[in-house]
Amino acid sequence: MRACCLITMIVLLNCPVHAGGPEFVAGASFFDPTIKGVPVTWPQGVVSYFTDQGDLSPTLLGPNADSFVATAFGMWNSVSTSAILMTQAGTWPET
């Protein structure tokens, strides 16, 4: 049993993983290929975000997730050296 667990861990730890990025966040089209390598910026440093209307999981309901995100962005907004301001612009129209 111990050997099986060890082999499973070795296999899982050697699998490639991907963090979020344009390929995995912005869909299959990525961004305009003519601006490849150019950082994504927001006008005047204001980032408007939208939240989902539904629940993320049985343990994280929609309103709790909204509060979680607002709290996290609030922490970034309170950093005096930060050049961005994140504001909730509403919810996505789909449920």
Locate 59 and state its tokens. Answer: 């343990």
Of all residues in the chain, the percent with pLDDT exceeding 90 is 16
pLDDT, averaged across the chain: 77
pTM of the model: 0.54
The pLDDT value given to residue 55: 84
Per-residue pLDDT band for 59 (boundaries 50, 70, 90) equals confident
Q: Please give the residue that has the higher pLDDT: either 72 or 23.
A: 72
Question: Going by C-beta distance under 8 Å and a sequence separation of 6 or more, which residues neighbour residue 40?
Answer: 31
What are the extents of the domains in the chain? Answer: 2-91
pLDDT band with cut points at 50, 70 and 90 for residue 87: very high
Q: Which two tokens stand for residue 70?
A: 């607002």
Check residues 58 and 27 and name the one with the higher pLDDT: 58
Distances in whole angstroms, Cα of residue 59 to Cα of each of 56, 63, 67, 95: 8, 12, 14, 18
The three-class DSSP label of residue 57 is coil
